[in-house]
Structure 1
């Protein structure tokens, strides 16, 4: 009997020639991933040879082998040989080498995403009702039921969930959209190549698609040739909102429905789930430090959001029109539906011929009328049709189908997905947040008060006098600005922005999310914003009752701000006027306040360990002060992509939060390459979101008292954690404040080139062009530059000194108990170990040598090396594991696969930096100088791809 079992195609056999020899099998990665890595490596080699000749492929392979052998043999002489070989090449050759390795990393990233999706499919296939897939929504609801929660209690928990991922452009994705599209084509083809039903010719065709996409990648500029604009960033965010996010949100709702049905039966599945997942964006609304974000730009952004949402809804309506060929002669149709269809058709002036052709098909008539209404909105023609009306019409269709015996069509498939999209995205796609720095508000209010003749020097008033003045002016109905009065530029721009907000919420209430105040420190900081809102007609008092359509959100960013968060919120909540404002923004009958926590500046200010501890303490303190004042609070986590900016697995971070801070509501930022990784493929997006929903449900259902957790039950553990954090911060500030460190940093890292990279619309420094110092440098380029050099210090530095201080004090047993039973400490150690595993000090030393050549001291490198060794030794004592390995085998294997290739990019970047420094200003302005600069930009992009992070 012949074997008729279907198997995926043999990818190795499909290669026309042997290209780049990746040797994925030798790194311990899975068979399917190894085959995909070998395939893309082989095809990349073919493309390199075809484009640049066999000699180029030979050079690429020679460099890879030298760096591989250097790593395997711990033989630095091999790296020296690779460095010499790089130094012998001209810039054009190095650009081609950099393009080859950069393209390889982006292809490997796609292969890894496909592997994650494959593993989840396999786990889902093997899952059962009693053993659901780990960290899935089904598992969360299974755990809730196991712990005694019935269907009603699970519904109540779902109703408390309020999850709002927030897209930002800090920095924007390092890759151009053209590159992302080609990489997406590769991913789609690789995914289809796993299908065992493929015929040989079909497999050949898919491999040809991958080959062609790779060839086009090599022929496409990797780095933008012009500066990034805010408009570019807005379109980039909308690309993901309109593709994978749009498709994935309904799938998450479907997962919840299926989990409820599996655990509690069909009767436990409501017609509509609570709206537990929504999206927001900062892109086009965040003006803090970005002069490109103006009132006009924000207005344009809102229009783009609206237009994209409407177009997507129209496409869905057309699909529903084709689907719902329901005849009133076959299925009874509720009178309300027929009446609504006729009324809307009349309102949009649907042509008589169209209406006649739909006689007896009321569902299609209603859908055609809805399409016509949406068309009018897209064309910006007058039309009273809001997102709420749109959703109500879809409900009418759903209920009619249900009543007509078509419940399956009503409950599953396109229609319920369309209703989820209508409720989630509305006509605004993602609510836009607006952010500005507190000092800008202070200046604008001062200018406004001066123009009104109320106060000539507001800035000189103390806090009590400011609050008294602001409260008084907020109680006066008349506007401050005299008719025709000239205002300072900052005040005029802010009032223009407030006017844009007013118009947006009047048209679509959900289009604006909130107003965020950077560096909030006093009650006057929030009252100043209320005064500006009042001036624009956004805030008012009517018969003692406050009316305001959006939340004002304080942002605490530095270590000092985080430590003082409880005291500052206590003052805000205790202010009579502001407490009335919170009551006006009530949720569920309780005054509501959102509070944002900054992960980037706190890390740059206090180092990895202190920043994490200060953030953890602040979350608990905020929850406690809110409880004292009877305020419902939602935490907004301003996380970055790297561990040094609060990155890592979002679900683990949720579970590590203080128990008292869990109330179902959470926001967190997602930016740059994080967006591209999490949302490039719908399967990855689904996994990311289901893990967050899982974590939120599990955390919300578990007991609030800290007695449920081992380490925090003892005051001594918290005291010990504070001592560890103090020692870690002391070590970190000792490095940062050392006068030798800043010259070393400027000379050893590519920060000067990062500043010129067309990567984001916001400048790298808060100060003027050319003014670069530690205080002015933003946290993102700070992290980016240390990551490029393989030091990765924002993600681990101070860990060794902190743990060693505790060990030397005889606290080893307590540390080990904390590592076993405290989710916060477990996540802290795991993330630090992961960043240490990504560090590569033998390569970093070569950047230090570059600094010494420029006249800087080698001492900072020695200090970093000593701290790394201390951290490794301390981690071994605490957990029995060294930092040679990441916290999971998958990550460790990924690092092992990437290291030889990343080393080549680092060696090339060092050589290019050395060449650049040898040029004078005139030489840098020549075509050869420009070519060298572009090569440096490619190296930055390549290492970002290899390390899977910019900042």
Structure 2
């Protein structure tokens, strides 16, 4: 893509580090070579020229530079435009991987320069070292670790625009770069690595960016499991080794502690608005996950069998191992050859029996009726067998072998993943449950129109039916949809937990508004045989989780939980669940509902109040954060978000979603995955160690001046945001100025972009992901900042002393600083001169838009206010690494935007026969801008 005088100099001029600059220049040159080979020298020259026009323009000449590039693009044929898109998109794929290698390099450098007194920042060692410095004893640390419960949750949210074919090639190129830098290759080996890298780039450029059809749910399941197999499976033991090493370093202790890190998944079980997630799909997902777990264990067991070549002729074998082998032999027949082969190697023989047991389980996956409970071998049995092997190695004098290495890793994996791999959550909209309950109660003759009842009457009817042991309808009744689908899903849940109790985690109710929303699901679970009440005792193997998503519901969440906790039947349900309650907070819909600042403040207050109400009622609780990848959907650094949470909600437990492109970024490379997870564990240790005494350590207490100021900012910013989206001119403008029409057709997920099943999509029905996706494509980034300009300027200019107060809050309050810094990052990534050109697409004559003027005016107000609060000269002066990356990326991204706008214009003028090829090019442009911005929705 470049010569040494262009891209390498450009990266260095932008202040990029020398190692990263070298990687980008190397990859850019290889891409340029591939582009010349495949598209020809004219296309290559045009790529360089268009980039140069955008790069070299002075700030006051940027608009004319964009006009010149647009003029140069206008006469190009579609094939040439497509090659330009492919070239720029491939470049960003390569830059993104080079930047990840830079993150790995920096962490390695920090590790090399760390020592026990100065451990690597944000590592597990740093967290344990901090506890030691604060005077915590070993017992204190172990008690804290036992409180931890961290559950990242993979979802299939449609925000990963790249095909798996592209991801694989990116990962291969990243591995080659890693080997080139750290593998100390000989000259001949280095040349082979470079040659393979060139070939991978050639293949990257020759691979379709756009899928030929929309993903199926089964594809999404396989996509999620790919990351489990290739990184998460191997990352988990590394995290526990880090904890063990830190305890040994700072406490000279070698002790066991329970696992505190488990993964969950929504992929294949999230039914909210996705008709493609059927009961059969969920059953298939459970089966595929179980098969994946068994195959991973079988691979690990075979590797371990090769390792544990301990002979009874060299060391005494404990009686416990011999007794266990005799019990195995009574239940399972091994090949006589294997028995003779391992007659003096009891550990290998024991492992052979374990392999045989798991092979039998795998063989029966497709014929579950063939297995009987008496023959069942559970994950608990498997863990017990692994512990027995460890104890016997200890008894043989091989303690180090027992407690470090592959056996120790396998034991951690078994405790983490069981035979189910990841517990599935089922999610469905409260409106669907209401419809199903209405149907069942009508068929049962209880009430003709449950949906029309007031809340108090609903609760009375539901409570009576929950206490009544009879079913509402006879088993096997032919129900209409959606009742049939919901009840079939609950049947899948009942069968799954009977087979593997941990295979299903929670049932989540979207758009929870009233107590009846949870009681409805409990009644449906009772009807399916999952929930039952014997006298005053409830039996139920799963949790029911309210999801608070709107600003109003977040504001009322604690009052809702107060009513729920005092409901007599629900209180008995809590007793069945060990006095434990999970509550989920929706970051996406709250932002779409109330704008950036209000959503953040409402979520922060909800966390504080939910923590307090749970503590008042003696309820053990876990907050589940439904965060997306972009700032507008709750994105940002997960560890900083944890440290920003109020102490009232720091229970030691946490869940958070890992969505779409976030999964690919965080889990594609093992070193990045390990860094991400260790930062979360570090933050959870630090946050959980803070004592909670009922008084908040940061200024959120109602009545405090800071609290009142935050309320005023939130109210003003939401008012500004609502004026924008409720302006009658807004929605027609949005649909014409952004590529939302094409985003909705992008074949990147199984889920529709709207909850509407038919008719035209409107603001209310459009999901939050495509809403944010379109703003990101046009470089406005509205969900990440809009509304704060009007609010902050009015308060700073209108209330003396407010600026000093805001500066003090920025310096001392972690949450406030995170909100401000996330907003300034989104604003730094925005590009209003480009956005203004999108705005003209909404006008038939290409004139400027009043809606754009509203957005641009608030952008200037927000920029000025944030610079005054943070006392910076430019946005992101506090983070020069990201600032420099944006500077490097902007000229290339600008060209992608200008190409997309030309395609949008052509598409709207085209005939029906011309549109399919233009739409495919538009899909490619969307992928390219997503790669450039490193985010979608």
TM-score for the superposition, normalised by structure 2 = 0.97
Distance 2:329 2:277 in 1: 40
Corresponding pairs, count: 926
Contact 2:159 2:936 in 1 (8 A): no
Distance 1:670 1:710 in 2: 28
Map residues 284-303 of structure 1 onto 2, 5 A cutoff.
Answer: 284-303=268-287
Pick from 889, 896, 910 the counterpart of residue 901 of structure 2.
Answer: 910
Distance 1:547 1:71 in 2: 70
Pick from 318, 323, 327 the counterpart of residue 311 of structure 2.
Answer: 327
Distance 1:706 1:837 in 2: 38
The answer to whether 1:575 aligns with 2:567 is yes
Cα gap change, 1:18 to 1:230, in 2 (>3 Å): farther
Pick from 743, 756, 759 the counterpart of residue 748 of structure 2.
Answer: 759
Query: How far off its partner does 1:480 sit?
Result: 1.2
Cα gap change, 1:549 to 1:22, in 2 (>3 Å): farther
Distance 1:171 1:559 in 2: 24
Pick from 777, 785, 804 the counterpart of residue 813 of structure 1.
Answer: 804
In structure 1, the residue matched to 2:419 is 427
Pick from 199, 216, 226 the counterpart of residue 229 of structure 1.
Answer: 216
Map residues 239-278 of structure 1 onto 2, 5 A cutoff.
Answer: 239-265=226-252, 268-270=253-255, 272-278=256-262
Query: How far off its partner does 1:483 sit?
Result: 4.9
The answer to whether 1:437 aligns with 2:429 is yes
Distance 1:639 1:321 in 2: 42
Note the residue ranges of structure 2 that are not aligned, 5 or more in a row: 365-369
Contact 1:244 1:680 in 2 (8 A): yes
Distance 1:666 1:464 in 2: 33
In structure 2, the residue matched to 1:668 is 656
Query: How far off its partner does 1:22 sit?
Result: 7.3
Map residues 351-430 of structure 1 onto 2, 5 A cutoff.
Answer: 351-380=335-364, 382=371, 383-430=375-422
Contact 1:834 1:886 in 2 (8 A): no
- Kindly provide the CA deviation profile for residues 867-910 of structure 1, in whole angstroms up to 9, marking residues without a partner as x: 00001111122121255336411111111111111011000000
Distance 1:374 1:719 in 2: 60
Distance 1:844 1:22 in 2: 28
In structure 2, the residue matched to 1:600 is 588
Map residues 580-595 of structure 1 onto 2, 5 A cutoff.
Answer: 580-586=572-578, 591-595=579-583
Runs of 4+ in 1 over 6 A off after TM superposition: 15-22, 854-857
Note the residue ranges of structure 1 that are not aligned, 5 or more in a row: 1-11
Q: Give SS of 2:182's match.
A: coil
In structure 1, the residue matched to 2:367 is none
Query: How far off its partner does 1:59 sit?
Result: 1.0
- Kindly provide the CA deviation profile for residues 620-650 of structure 1, in whole angstroms up to 9, marking residues without a partner as x: 0101111121111100000000000000000
The answer to whether 1:207 aligns with 2:194 is yes
In structure 1, the residue matched to 2:677 is 689
Cα gap change, 1:209 to 1:769, in 2 (>3 Å): farther
The answer to whether 1:772 aligns with 2:764 is no
Distance 2:466 2:87 in 1: 61
In structure 2, the residue matched to 1:538 is 530
Contact 2:8 2:24 in 1 (8 A): no
Contact 2:270 2:425 in 1 (8 A): yes
Contact 1:651 1:691 in 2 (8 A): yes
Q: Give SS of 1:434's match.
A: strand
- Kindly provide the CA deviation profile for residues 817-855 of structure 1, in whole angstroms up to 9, marking residues without a partner as x: 111111110000000000000000010011011112378
Query: How far off its partner does 1:705 sit?
Result: 4.8
Q: Give SS of 2:428's match.
A: strand
Query: How far off its partner does 1:353 sit?
Result: 2.8
In structure 2, the residue matched to 1:563 is 555
Distance 1:71 1:212 in 2: 38
- Kindly provide the CA deviation profile for residues 396-451 of structure 1, in whole angstroms up to 9, marking residues without a partner as x: 11111111111111111111111111110111111100000111111111111111
The answer to whether 1:949 aligns with 2:908 is no
- Kindly provide the CA deviation profile for residues 356-400 of structure 1, in whole angstroms up to 9, marking residues without a partner as x: 221011111111111111111111163511111111111111111
Contact 1:709 1:822 in 2 (8 A): no
Distance 1:348 1:439 in 2: 51
- Kindly provide the CA deviation profile for residues 36-82 of structure 1, in whole angstroms up to 9, marking residues without a partner as x: 11111110000000111111111111111111112667432222211
In structure 2, the residue matched to 1:4 is none
In structure 2, the residue matched to 1:704 is 692
Contact 2:159 2:769 in 1 (8 A): no
Pick from 660, 665, 678 the counterpart of residue 677 of structure 1.
Answer: 665
Q: Give SS of 1:94's match.
A: helix
Q: Give SS of 1:704's match.
A: coil
In structure 1, the residue matched to 2:711 is 722
Q: Give SS of 1:853's match.
A: coil
The answer to whether 1:836 aligns with 2:852 is no
Distance 2:602 2:894 in 1: 35
Q: Give SS of 1:666's match.
A: strand
Pick from 859, 867, 870 the counterpart of residue 876 of structure 1.
Answer: 867
Distance 2:379 2:877 in 1: 47
* CA RMSD between the two structures: 1.7
Contact 1:724 1:805 in 2 (8 A): no
Pick from 897, 900, 903 the counterpart of residue 888 of structure 2.
Answer: 897
Contact 2:342 2:349 in 1 (8 A): yes
Contact 1:801 1:867 in 2 (8 A): yes
Distance 2:275 2:642 in 1: 34
Distance 1:193 1:337 in 2: 46
In structure 2, the residue matched to 1:108 is 95
Distance 1:857 1:71 in 2: 22
Q: Give SS of 2:636's match.
A: coil
Map residues 390-539 of structure 1 onto 2, 5 A cutoff.
Answer: 390-483=382-475, 485-539=477-531
- Kindly provide the CA deviation profile for residues 302-336 of structure 1, in whole angstroms up to 9, marking residues without a partner as x: 00111111100100000001000011111222211
Query: How far off its partner does 1:805 sit?
Result: 2.8
Distance 1:22 1:482 in 2: 76
In structure 2, the residue matched to 1:282 is 266
